[in-house]
Structure formats: C-alpha cells, structure tokens
Structure 1
C-alpha cells in the first residue's frame, strides 16, 4: 500500500471516529423526520398541481361542450329556415370542437389517473412519516434514559470524567491532610524530646524557671555528693548503718568536723 493510500485511509478512519463522537442519534432522527416532512409537503404540492390542471381541463371541456351544444342548436334552426349552408357551417365548427373535446377528455383521464396515484402515494408516505415519528420519539426517549442511566452509573462507580476529577481531588486532599498530620506529630515529638525549642515558651519567665531548675539540680548534686562523702569517711559506722537516711543528718554531722579541721 502506498503512502498516499495509507494517509487517506488514516484520515477517513479518524474522520469517521470524530463524526461518531459528534453524532447525536436524537439530532439525526429529528433531521430525518424533517426531511420526510419536506418530501411529504412536496408530494402534497404535486397532488394540488395535478388537481388544479384537471380542474382547468374540466372547465375547458364544459366550455367546449357548451359551444358544441350551441352550434348544434344553430344548425337545427338553420335547417328549419331552409339555410342548409348555415347549418353545414355550424356542424363543421361543431365537428372541430368535438376533436378538441376528445383530446381534453383524454388529458383529463390521464391527469385523473396521475392524481389518484399521487394521492395514494401521499397517503402511504404520510402513514410512513407518522410511523417514523412515533418510532423516533420512542428511540429518543430510550436513548435519553440510557444516557441518563449511564451517567448515573459512571457517577456511582466513579469512572466518569467529572467524578474521576472529584475523586482525584479528594485523594489529593487526604494525602495533604495525612502529610500535615505527620508533620505536626513529628514536630511535637521533637519539642517533647528537647531537640526543638518551643517558640511560644521563650521569654523572661521561662529563663528564670530554667535557672531555678538548674540551681535545684546543682543543690541536689551537692547534697548527694556530701552524703556519699559521709558514707565513705573512716570511723563513721553510724553513717554506714543509717544507709540512705535523711541527707539533712549527714550534712549536720559533717559540719562540726569541718569546723574542727579548720581550728
């Protein structure tokens, strides 16, 4: 297959696909019904034209027959008056009219037959158009119902384009919410562990509290150190027996010893 033939085939295929997507069966049915109505209207005009021609011929026939009757009467009257020449002239003219009358009668019969055919065709076409209209409305209603059902099913299942976009938006919102929750939890853990300072707790009052906590911690360290010294001093069985007694007793017993050593 040549390149031009392939390009032509591809173009026709894509054009056909585009037309299929753009075509609405309801619009196509309405257009077909409109065309049938136009055809029916043309047939009716044809019937009217033929009927008009038939009626015109009937009028001409009536006039010619009236003229023929008049000539017949003139011929009879001329014979009564012994005017054979006038009678012959009247009969000659009547004979000429008789030929025209016969021709018009033949045309009338032909037009009458054509009119009957057109009337029958009009009746059949009108019945077909009415049947098509009923079927068209049924198909349109069925198609509309099927289209609505399809959209509802797509919306329920989430496979529709619009609902797909909504589902993606919800998924993105849930992902961002989960990310923000995880970030907030991580920051809380870092603040609780001391890796990060709480910016809302920084100030002069918090500095004093931290310093007091530091001094209290140092005092506890000194008291524990003095207790351990008392426990480790020689000749202090009472201190050893007391074990983990009150640290205030240890501090009071150590104070006189420190004063004697200074003296």
Structure 2
C-alpha cells in the first residue's frame, strides 16, 4: 500500500470504531499511533523531495526562459542584418524552447498543487495523531480498569462463594435444631405449683359457671 493510500485510510478512519472491535485496545492503539508516526515521516520525506524537485525545476525554467529570450534576440538581429533565413532558423529554435518551457511550467503547477495537498495531509495526519495520543492514556486506563473489575467479579463469583453460602445454611440448620430442643424441653418439664393452682382455679370457675347454667335452665323448665 502506498504512503498516500495509507494516509487517506488513516485520515478517514474512525479510531473509536477500530477500538470497539479490538480485543486488546492497548495494543491496537499503539499500532495505530506507530502507523501514523511512520506515515507522517514518509509524507514529510516525500514533501522534502518534492520541494527539492520544485527548486530544481525553478532553475531549469529560468534557464530555458533566458534561452527563449536569447533566440528571440538572435532572430531579430539576423533579420536586421538581412538574413531572413537565419532569423527563421532562430525562431524555430525559440519555438522548441518555448514548447519545453510551457511543459516545465505545467509541471511546476502540478508540483505546487501536490505540495498544497501534502501540506493538508500532514496537518490532518498530525491532528489524527494528536487525537490518538490523547486517547491512548484514557483507553489504556479504561481497559485496565475493566480487566481488573472482570477479574474481581470472577473471583467473587467463583466456587468459594458457593461454599460460604453452604456453610451459612449448615449454621442455620444447626440453630433450628437447637431451638427445637429448647421447645421440646419446655413442653416436657414438670408443672410448677403456681401453674397447677392457676389451672385448678380455672377449672373451679368453669364448674361454678356450669352449675349456674344448669340451675337457670331448671327454673325455666328447659332441662331434659
């Protein structure tokens, strides 16, 4: 892939989308930054070569332009001296040089346009590189935090938690058995004097109420 194809891909790329698809964001963002830095070096080197070519072309254009003027002067001189044939020959040489000069100027315009584009590419790539570097620390921190949280969750929800809950259940069952033993003991223990007297008084009251009820029914003739 050529340098200009790569820089186009980088400038048009969405760093967030790349990172979202990455399994190792730290590695991916470092590779992106390395690719950008390498491409930036290549683009700058290409720009240096283009500038050198432009300067060489400037010198050549100046030289050919002087030649065109010289042959124009020679054609005029020959015509003044009555040598129309020489004047015609000089104009023919001038025409060839002018054609060459026109081609050189066209090439010069193309180089200038290329330099403008290279400058725009460098600026855009530098912006992308700055953005990637600014995101690097944040993305690495987020990745490490998420990884640590995942490890913590994994260790929290492993078999040890199940064992802990099982031990709690054993303790609860033991407490249930202990409470049951206390209840049985309360049910089986002999009654005290106070309890027996209370029951005797309750029975006596019931007997009195029953006798009163019978007497009442006998007075009304409803007894059988």
> TM-score under structure 1 normalisation?
0.44
Give RMSD over aligned pairs.
2.9
Matches within 5 A, 1:68-147: 68-144=68-144, 146=145
CA contact (8 A) 2:43 2:118 kept: yes
Matches within 5 A, 1:15-34: 24-34=24-34
Alignment: residue pair count? 135
Partners of 2:154 and 2:87 lie apart in 1 by: 102
Superposition deviation, residue 98 in structure 1: 0.7
132 and 158 in structure 1: CA distance in 2 versus 1, 3 angstrom threshold? closer
158 and 71 in structure 1: CA distance in 2 versus 1, 3 angstrom threshold? closer
Superposition deviation, residue 111 in structure 1: 2.2
Give 3-state SS (helix, strand or coil) of 2:82's partner. coil
Partners of 1:44 and 1:137 lie apart in 2 by: 27
Partners of 1:158 and 1:108 lie apart in 2 by: 66
**Which of the pair has more CA radius of gyration?**
1
Partners of 1:158 and 1:35 lie apart in 2 by: 36
Partners of 1:54 and 1:109 lie apart in 2 by: 10
79 and 25 in structure 1: CA distance in 2 versus 1, 3 angstrom threshold? same
CA contact (8 A) 2:64 2:101 kept: yes
Partners of 1:158 and 1:96 lie apart in 2 by: 82
Matches within 5 A, 1:161-176: none
31 and 82 in structure 1: CA distance in 2 versus 1, 3 angstrom threshold? same
Partners of 2:51 and 2:92 lie apart in 1 by: 33
Q: Deviations over 1:3-59 (max 9, x none)?
A: xxxxxxxxxxxxxxxxxxxx6532332122101111222222232333333333222
Partners of 1:148 and 1:92 lie apart in 2 by: 79
Partners of 2:79 and 2:49 lie apart in 1 by: 45
Partners of 1:78 and 1:143 lie apart in 2 by: 83
Partners of 2:33 and 2:154 lie apart in 1 by: 37
Gaps of 5+ in 2: 1-22, 161-224
Superposition deviation, residue 134 in structure 1: 0.8
45 and 93 in structure 1: CA distance in 2 versus 1, 3 angstrom threshold? same
Q: Which has the higher contact order (CA 8 A, sep 6+)?
A: 2
Partners of 1:108 and 1:94 lie apart in 2 by: 20
> TM-score under structure 2 normalisation?
0.51
Superposition deviation, residue 149 in structure 1: 6.4
Partners of 2:64 and 2:79 lie apart in 1 by: 23
Superposition deviation, residue 95 in structure 1: 0.9
Partners of 2:89 and 2:66 lie apart in 1 by: 17
